Amino acid sequence: MLNTRDARAVYARETVQLHVGDADFLHFGLCQNKHQVSIPLGWVLSDVVQSRMQEQLAEGDCLPAFDNLNNLRVIGERMASRR
């Protein structure tokens, strides 16, 4: 029963990807680095958690591999082309 929450999230993500297409779908994720514990999420993120999330975007050292850095670059390029 506990796995239904994760399955629902996967279903929602895949549904959005189907509707917007692969070219416009950018998947961001939180990483678990070999030297850090998982980032706890809640309604309010502490300063420490926010710093860890910023570090993950800057380093790109991510397990499992998410292409967060490239996704940010793509967003920046698309926003710049709309100006």
Question: Using one digit for the tens of pLDDT, what is the confidence trace for 3-44?
Answer: 676 678 888 989 999 999 998 999 887 776 655 666 777 778
pTM of the model: 0.60
- pLDDT for 28 equals 82
Neighbours of 1 (CB within 10 A): 4
Q: Could you tell me where the DSSP H helices lie in 21-67?
A: 47-59
- pLDDT band at residue 53 using 50, 70 and 90 as cut-offs: confident
Is it the case that residue 70 has pLDDT exceeding 70? yes
Task: Quote the pLDDT of residue 76.
Answer: 92
Contact 68, 62 (CB under 8 A): yes
Please report where in the chains the tokens 């959005």 appear, as a residue.
Answer: 16
Amino acid at 11: Y
> What is the pLDDT, as a whole number, of residue 15?
93
Evaluated on CA atoms 34, 36, 40, 41, the torsion sign reads negative
pLDDT of residue 31: 74
Please give the DSSP secondary-structure letter assigned to residue 17.
H
Predicted confidence (pLDDT) at residue 61 exceeds the cutoff of 70: no
Residue with tokens 């490239």: 70
